[in-house]
Amino acid sequence: MILALAIAGLFVLPDPWRVVILVVAAMIEVGEVFVWIRFLRRYRVTTGAEGMIGEPAEVIEPCAPRGLVRFRGEIWKARCDARAAVRDRVRITAVDGLELVVEPERDR
């Protein structure tokens, strides 16, 4: 917005002030970009396969060792070394292609 006002000022302000205002506005905009980059680097990306690991899912077809689970409203093929019955809660430990590797969730 500051840059837009500075550009509008190019048509209104006298000659030496035009350049000064434009340079100051451009420096503010560049500084703002660096502030946003630094701010956004603090947050981890939680999408894709990396974001699924450690999340809970619900078994909808017994996993002995293969079955189906529901994760975030989607049905996935699952592989579980320990048995898991229908409606059991499991944790995703890995993603192997289009199959989730899960383990039963421990009671807390």
DSSP string, the chain: -HHHHHHHHTTTS-HHHHHHHHHHHHHHHHHHHHHHHHHHTTSPP--HHHHHTT-EEEEEE-BSSEEEEEETTEEEEEEESS-B-TT-EEEEEEEETTEEEEEEPPP-
Determine, yes or no, domain membership for 61.
yes
**Do residues 13 and 57 share a domain?**
no
Determine, yes or no, domain membership for 46.
no
**Do residues 15 and 59 share a domain?**
no
Determine, yes or no, domain membership for 33.
yes
**Do residues 100 and 59 share a domain?**
yes
Determine, yes or no, domain membership for 58.
yes
- Can you give the pLDDT at residue 107? 55
Beta bridge partners of 75: 70
**Do residues 61 and 83 share a domain?**
yes
Is the whole-model pTM more than 0.85?
no
Model confidence over 6-19: pLDDT tens digits? Answer: 677 777 777 788 78
Print the domain residue range for 15.
2-40
Model confidence over 63-88: pLDDT tens digits? Answer: 989 999 999 999 999 999 899 999 99
CA dihedral defined by 43, 48, 50, 51, rounded to 10 degrees? 60
CATH of the domain at 96: 2.40.50.140
Mean pLDDT of the region 95-100? 94
Provide the pLDDT confidence category of residue 108 given band limits of 50, 70 and 90: very low
Model confidence over 17-63: pLDDT tens digits? Answer: 878 877 888 888 899 999 999 998 888 767 788 889 999 999 999 99
Determine, yes or no, domain membership for 77.
yes
Sign, CA dihedral 51-56-58-63, equals positive
Domains: count for the chain: 2
- Can you give the pLDDT at residue 72? 92
Rg for the chain (alpha carbons), in Å? Answer: 27
